[in-house]
Amino acid sequence: MIRLVRAEFDKLFTTKLWLGLTLGGLALASAFLAITIGLDGMAENPNPPVSTPEGQRNLFATATGASTFALLLGIIAVTGEFRHQTATPTFLATPRRDRVIAAKLVAYAVVGVVFGALTLLVAIAIAAPWLAAIDTELSLTQHGVPGTMAGVIAAVALYTLLGVGIGALVRNQIAAVVGALVYLFVIEAFVRGLPVVRDYYPYSPGGASEALTATTDPVIEHVQPWQGGLLLAGYALVFCALGSWLSVRRDIA
C-alpha cells in the first residue's frame, strides 16, 4: 500500500496541474477574504462585523473557497487516468483495483489537508496586517476561531476526497468537472437563494461545509459544526464507496 500511495504522489507532482489548481484555490479564497473585509461596515452588508467573534469566524471560513479547486483536483486525479489511458497499466500492475482507489484516497486526503492548511496560512497572512491597519483586534486563539480553522482544513480535505469519489464514479473528465461546477455554482446557489427550497441548503455539501466552519449567516440556519462535519464526510464516503465499487466491476476502457 505504501508503494501505491507513493506512486500517487509521483503521478501528482509530475505535472504542473496541482500547482495551477493550488494557486487558483489560494486566489479564490484570498478574493473572498478581501471582499469580506472590504465590505465590512457597509450599510447594505447583513453579515456580522469582522470586529466581532462571529465576523472573524466568517472571515476565516472564506478560506473554504479553495474547496472548489480541491474538488477539481480530486476529480482529475481519477479521470485523468482514463483520459490519458494510464488506467490500464495502473490496474495491470495492481490487479486489485480496490487497493488502487484506496491508495488514491490516502494520498489525496494528505494532499487535501496540506491544501487546506496552506490556504489558511495565506488567509492569516492577508487578514492579520489588514485588520491591524484598520485598528481591528484579531484573535487566532479565542472566540471559536481555532475551531473554524480546523473546520477549514477538514472541509478542503473532504472536498478533495469527494472529488476522488466523483471521478471514480463518472470517469469522463469533462462530464465530471462540468457537472461538479454546475452543481456548485448553479444548483447550490439556486437552492440557497430560493426561499421555497432554502431549508434544504444546510444539508447540501456547501451548507455542511459552512456549518463545519461555524459560519454565521443571516438567512441560513446551519446545523451544528460537528453535524456539518459528519454530513460532509458522509457525502465523501458515499461517493468514494460507490466509485470504488464501480471501479472494481467495470471494464477499464
In this predicted structure, what is the pLDDT of residue 183? Answer: 94
Placement of cell 460507490 in the chain: 242
DSSP 8-state class, residue 183? I
State residue 92's pLDDT score: 46
Q: What is the pLDDT along the chain (253 residues), one digit of tens a residue?
A: 677 777 677 777 888 888 999 999 999 999 999 999 988 878 787 888 898 999 999 999 999 999 999 999 999 988 887 665 555 555 545 556 667 777 888 999 999 999 999 999 999 999 999 999 988 888 888 889 999 999 999 999 999 999 999 998 888 899 999 999 999 999 999 998 888 888 999 999 999 999 999 998 888 899 999 999 999 999 999 999 998 887 666 655 5
Helix (H) or strand (E) run with residue 199 in it: none
The model carries a pTM of 0.91
Query: CA–CA separation, 201 vs 218, rounded Å?
Result: 14
pLDDT at 96: 62
What are the cell numbers at 60? 476565516
pLDDT at 207: 94
Three-state DSSP at 52 gives: coil
Please report, as a single letter, which amino acid is at residue 84. Answer: H
Q: Give the chain's length.
A: 253
